Structure 1
Amino acid sequence: MSKKTGVTEQTLLKDSIFRIGKVFSVEGRVIKVSVDKQKNASHLLYKGELLKNVSVGSNLKIVKGFIAIIAKVESEQIREDQIFNGKYSKAENKIHRILVVKLLGYIENNKFIGGINELPLIDNECYLLDKEEAQSIHNFVPEEDVPLELGTLALETGQTINLGVNALFASHIGIFGNTGSGKSYTLAKLYRTLFTRFESEKKFRKNAKFLLFDFNGEYNDDDAIIEEKHVINLSTKTQEGNEKLEFSEADLLDVELFSIMASATEKTQRPFLARTLNFYKTVSRSDDALRFFKNMLRKRVVDILKMSDKVRALLLLDYLKEILPKSYDDNGIERDLTDDLDFHNKSAEFMLDGVFLRSYPNEIENTLIYRHVDSYEFRDNFISKIIDFLYLQLIYDVISNRAQNEHIAPAINKLKSFQKDIGKVIRVVKDETSDFWNDKFFTIINLNNANLNIKKLVPLLVSYKLYSEHKKKKIKQTNSSLNIIIDEAHNILSYASQRESETWKDYRLETFEEIIKEGRKFGVFLTIASQRPSDISSTIISQLHNYFLHRLINSKDINAIEKTVSYLDKVSFEALPVLATGTCVVAGLAAQIPVIIKVNQIAKKHEPNNKTIDLVSKWSDNINDNEQ
């Protein structure tokens, strides 16, 4: 009996200490709690331990019968009794402390369940959470998932935060924060923790693929994130010895892609590009593609030299010269391929050694430019090869009055400006046989030494290619997954760039929006990290499932998060501008309630190479002398 009495006394003691007040207002999810006057201290003493008293940002329990409803304190107010009834001994006793809280969920069978199934009643008692209850609401990992420890609660000492692998990595992730807030560190921590847990698993190495686009060279160190990775360093600064990505011709023969590279207009240039690519495919399917192309060149030479319009004919001859290789005389001096031709203005006809070519077309075969067609070979650079087809198609279209030169030529010139850069980073093969992943599960494409055009083009090409391949595999019910990771994502997901055409922006954003909308059912997931969420398409941000939000100061960035992230509560949102470095708000499907965590450290050698330079140590002779 005494034992039973002891338990009862202990329970009563705990209840009296943990009780903080009563509900006095219920307005949907917004509940107001009147705090007991003796619970206004910052800490409470229980079993020799100091407990943090309830405050803004704290969680509390509202007891409704046998149901424990969990809520979060969003704001605090005071209320003064207006009617004096003689019961106050001190003036401060007229002051009531009021907590405004919002419901988060409830505890059932010792497990926290997010969502509302019960609303509290007036006079329901409210309590601080004990240790077990606090652990319960921060236990985000179901039994069937694998937990990964990412950090500890920033506002509660000792409470670790684990997230489930399925809930986190089978989803789209957004990591946002200003420069120096720790977002790249968090990205590295996420994937370092995952790889450490699974890299020895055979199924993981077989079925999981991870691709990281690194715009600033932060992850290409030997040990960054993980030692075992495949790093592809792309550069447009040098011509020879560059690493290159391999693409098959089929990957690049896309009218949308060429329209983007050529900044093609919708009504004139884009249809021209489509005709050219169809022409290229027709030639490629023939038994002897080079012979086919040469015959087409000869036909166009004949057509041009039979023209009566001198101006148009000379222009088209110039286009032929763009296609044909240079010609040199016996002394090694370059010669003009039309040196042997004259034009008789009166009869409006080309002449060769006094012979009128339209009247005697068989003589055209003796012209230098006709005979020089035999010297033509397809170019090694795929884009240069396509440009030859574009010129030949343009010649045909102008002759047949299907297109005007001034409408089409700018698209070809734009594409020509791309060809050298593309040749530095892409190798085009007939049938792709190399392993993009180099027998690794983690590949990094380092774009630090690439120019702006390539930084925008390569992620688009590679992402679309791998996504398309993965869709085809998924139809066969494979178990593979693909995680595409984009650090500094505003470089390619911005809708506000003024350096590119609307067509380019639309195609680029539509491609990644398709991945983020449809990718999940094909096992393709996107992780984006950016310091400027306001620059990124709101469609993309709103489709993310999990968010790691570091310090954001710019009002546009904060507003972008407020408009698109539905998981945040008021306290977490208002904390964004003042979060410490390495601290972030975690919200989304992987966490049933938003929490502010301090991200755990990773070994220094695995950190990204993005530390802010310490100017004092670099400028002062009396500091770090051993580094001289």
Structure 2
Amino acid sequence: MQVVGITTQQEVHVASKTHKFRMNEMLVIEDNVLAEPKGEVVETFSYNRYIPMGFDKGFVDRDVLQTMEQIGYDIGQDDIHLAKVRLFEEAGTPIQTGATVRHPQFSEVKHLLITTTPEQGMVLGEVKSTDFVYKSIPSALNDLVMVQEQGELRTQNGIPFIFDIRAMQQYPHIGVFGGSGSGKSFGLRVMLEELMKLHIPTLVFDPHFEMNFSKETDAAKGNAYVSRYEVVQIGRDVGVDFSSLSTRDVERLLGAAAQLSEPMVNVIQTIHKPKDSYQSFSDRVAHLMDALDMGKQKVESLLHDGGMSRDEVARYQLYKKLLDQYGALPPSSVKGIYWRGNRLNQAGLFQHHIRAIEQAIHSGKLVVIQGAVWLLQVFSSYVIGNLYTQRRAYKDAKLQQQQATFFPPFVVVTDEAHNFAPKGYDAPAKGMLKEIAQEGRKYGTFLIFATQRPTLLDETITAQLNSKFIFRTVRGTDIQTIKEETDLTAEEGKRLPYLRSGDVFVSSAIIGRTVAVRIRMAHSTSPHTLNPFDELAQMHEKGNEDVVRALADFLPLADMHVMQKLGQLNEQANKSWDVSEWKKELDRLCTEGQLKKEVTPFATLYDRP
């Protein structure tokens, strides 16, 4: 391998007769004057004499051809492989043309690839095209990951990619971007496994009900996560302690159920009292709603006329008291507040507390919070604000040398992040997430945001994501956003729509450059991995088995006897079919070879094949 053509301080062209260059392959240029600069392949090109075309396109120009001929390449006869190599560091002077090029030893590029140890970092995958360096890596970096390629699981044959999570103190927050089927959710699962391995308290909002880590894959190698995470559902396991909410918190929660008008905000500010339970607040609103419907004149008239039971008198006296206090409030706004609160209560939001989440965070566990997207948006604003306030209060007290209850640093993770912090309009948790994005690193609170649409994510938050994992992305607006927010080159941007599932560009201020990585095989698998068409086939097969099993005691069965046996057949098969439906099912099973059909002069018989 040799340098050919005109060189610059940033880029050179390298040619070889035997070696086919690969994207992101690392090379060392033996230019002793410049202390052997290093770079990686950003474009490749191969020329074959049987296909005499292409030298007039791409990055190959006349100067490159002339240099190649001068140093012994036969353009008309040889197979020639060319690569454009971008240097990792700008050279002081242009590279010497004709300089020999070789693959590096691990010690020569260690500082470019490894910034921490496997024990202290997140082992997320394998750096692509580093198999030439693999032979010289130390044993401590060997056999750390398994990688799936072309449907086959293989052992590590390159340098492991270890993300230095401790460096997030200086360069906080991670963005995970990629379209559907790009491997984004798979990569997020691998990150969560590594967070559990490091015992980092983590809060995960899971709108797809897929973050379960109990089912192991062939790559698990004894890495069990059952004791390292908790799964809770909103309304079943966790909820909001209404009595602990301030009036502003109540506004935010009810506004998340549906947008509040100014009169509705005024209703909350007027009616809500400190330490209100949901029941006391809801009853006050409901009674006021009834009182406003009746009107003050009618309530006073009923009290004046008498002839009512003691309970009725107490109720109308309460109505009169409420009307005296809140009679000026608009009835429609009071009804709107009642409806919004009732919607959240029906979802179970006010029937539990977050103690289970707090205990898991204190234990260094990963907590998966599941629920409908709209409910997660509401709950996230409360739980993130609550935990962040506790962490911030502890750190502020320590700085002031005061006694405080320890609350651990933690990471907030969410898929479909554009639903939680959208660009252009408000969402319940958006304000708190923006505050964490801008100030969280000072308090040890970090974000990992995954989304298919980075363009729809709030720009303030996107700008604070110092590390970005970019999977296959097709939409032009998203690619443009990614280019603006990362140091991806034009060549890498062109490759984004064609990345294989599981391949990712990691653009991080921690590393200082973009690295191409193959995400490792996860140690656990999602419950949604079954192909839906396989699921259909399984259900069809199971349905056939259930019906054939129900028919077993009645075979051979004549079509004229179906009416007599109808009740027993339905009971055995757990169906509610009529005679015509059973006959259609019998004929279908015969067509599929599950039964055989024999037509006689007296009847049609169905029997085992």
TM-score band, normalised by the shorter chain? 0.5 to 0.7
Structure 2: state its 5+ residue gaps.
44-57, 132-156, 217-223, 399-405, 547-609
Whether 1:316 aligns to 2:315 is no
User: Quick one: distance in 2 between partners of 1:234 and 1:151?
Assistant: 33
Whether 1:437 aligns to 2:359 is yes
Structure 2 match to 1:273: 268
Structure 2 match to 1:425: 348
1:186, distance to aligned residue in structure 2 (A) = 1.4
Taking the TM superposition and a 5 Å limit, the aligned residue runs for 1:283-432 are 316=292, 318=294, 341=301, 352-353=304-305, 371-372=314-315, 396=325, 398-399=327-328, 405=330, 409-410=332-333, 412-427=335-350
Code of the aligned partner of 1:215 = P
Superposed CA offset, 1:494-521 (max 9, x none)? 336xxxxx5x43x532221111111111
Code of the aligned partner of 1:25 = T
1:424, distance to aligned residue in structure 2 (A) = 3.5
1:371, distance to aligned residue in structure 2 (A) = 3.1
Superposed CA offset, 1:349-382 (max 9, x none)? xx934xxxxxxxxx999998653367x7xxxxxx
Structure 1 match to 2:408: 480
Give TM-score, length-normalised by structure 2: 0.65
Structure 2 match to 1:104: 88
Q: 1:521 to 1:155 in 2, by over 3 A?
A: same
Whether 1:576 aligns to 2:496 is yes
Superposed CA offset, 1:121-161 (max 9, x none)? 36374633323356425433247982443222333432222
Code of the aligned partner of 1:437 = Q
Q: 1:598 to 1:258 in 2, by over 3 A?
A: closer
Superposed CA offset, 1:171-230 (max 9, x none)? 31122222222222212212223423x45xxxxxxxx42111111110246457820222
Structure 1 match to 2:230: 230
CA contact (8 A) 1:214 1:447 kept: yes
Other structure's SS at 1:77 match? coil
Taking the TM superposition and a 5 Å limit, the aligned residue runs for 1:65-84 are 65=33, 67-75=35-43, 77-80=59-62
Which has the larger share of strand? 1
1:482, distance to aligned residue in structure 2 (A) = 0.8
Structure 1 match to 2:513: 593
1:56, distance to aligned residue in structure 2 (A) = 4.9
Structure 1 match to 2:463: 542
Structure 2 match to 1:521: 442
Structure 2 match to 1:215: 207
User: Quick one: distance in 2 between partners of 1:460 and 1:68?
Assistant: 53
Structure 1 match to 2:420: 492
Percent identical among aligned pairs is: 16
Other structure's SS at 2:101 match? strand
Q: 1:494 to 1:626 in 2, by over 3 A?
A: farther
1:440, distance to aligned residue in structure 2 (A) = 3.9
Taking the TM superposition and a 5 Å limit, the aligned residue runs for 1:185-196 are 185-196=186-197
Code of the aligned partner of 1:610 = H
Q: 1:524 to 1:84 in 2, by over 3 A?
A: closer
- Measured on the aligned residues, the alpha-carbon RMSD in Å equals 4.9
CA contact (8 A) 2:240 2:382 kept: no
Superposed CA offset, 1:314-357 (max 9, x none)? 9736378xxxxxxxxxxxxxxxx958837xxxxxxxx934xxxx
Among candidates 383, 386, 390, match of residue 465 of structure 1: 386
Other structure's SS at 2:448 match? strand
Among candidates 238, 250, 253, match of residue 244 of structure 1: 238
User: Quick one: distance in 2 between partners of 1:64 and 1:544?
Assistant: 39
Code of the aligned partner of 1:316 = L
Q: 1:248 to 1:273 in 2, by over 3 A?
A: closer
Code of the aligned partner of 1:490 = H
Q: 1:610 to 1:591 in 2, by over 3 A?
A: farther
Structure 1 match to 2:26: 59
CA contact (8 A) 1:177 1:552 kept: yes
Code of the aligned partner of 1:447 = Q
Q: 1:425 to 1:556 in 2, by over 3 A?
A: farther
Other structure's SS at 2:517 match? strand
Code of the aligned partner of 1:270 = V
User: Quick one: distance in 1 between partners of 2:415 and 2:163?
Assistant: 21
1:492, distance to aligned residue in structure 2 (A) = 2.2
Code of the aligned partner of 1:67 = A
Other structure's SS at 1:485 match? strand
Whether 1:24 aligns to 2:17 is no
1:21, distance to aligned residue in structure 2 (A) = 3.8
Code of the aligned partner of 2:180 = T
Code of the aligned partner of 1:159 = G
Q: 1:284 to 1:414 in 2, by over 3 A?
A: closer
Taking the TM superposition and a 5 Å limit, the aligned residue runs for 1:164-175 are 164-167=164-167, 171-175=172-176
Whether 1:619 aligns to 2:593 is no
1:487, distance to aligned residue in structure 2 (A) = 2.0
1:432, distance to aligned residue in structure 2 (A) = 8.2
User: Quick one: distance in 1 between partners of 2:186 and 2:63?
Assistant: 51
CA contact (8 A) 1:172 1:545 kept: yes
User: Quick one: distance in 2 between partners of 1:176 and 1:25?
Assistant: 33
User: Quick one: distance in 1 between partners of 2:130 and 2:65?
Assistant: 40
User: Quick one: distance in 2 between partners of 1:512 and 1:456?
Assistant: 12
Code of the aligned partner of 1:119 = G
CA contact (8 A) 1:141 1:162 kept: yes
Structure with bigger RCO (C-alpha 8 Å, 6+ apart): 1
CA contact (8 A) 1:183 1:529 kept: yes
1:588, distance to aligned residue in structure 2 (A) = 0.6
CA contact (8 A) 2:391 2:407 kept: no
Q: 1:422 to 1:532 in 2, by over 3 A?
A: farther
CA contact (8 A) 1:550 1:585 kept: yes
1:260, distance to aligned residue in structure 2 (A) = 2.1
Superposed CA offset, 1:547-566 (max 9, x none)? 222211222322221222x2
User: Quick one: distance in 2 between partners of 1:84 and 1:576?
Assistant: 34
User: Quick one: distance in 2 between partners of 1:162 and 1:619?
Assistant: 41
Other structure's SS at 2:8 match? strand
1:94, distance to aligned residue in structure 2 (A) = 14
1:607, distance to aligned residue in structure 2 (A) = 1.8
CA contact (8 A) 2:466 2:509 kept: yes
Structure 1: state its 5+ residue gaps.
1-17, 44-52, 106-115, 200-207, 236-241, 301-312, 321-336, 343-350, 354-362, 377-387, 497-501
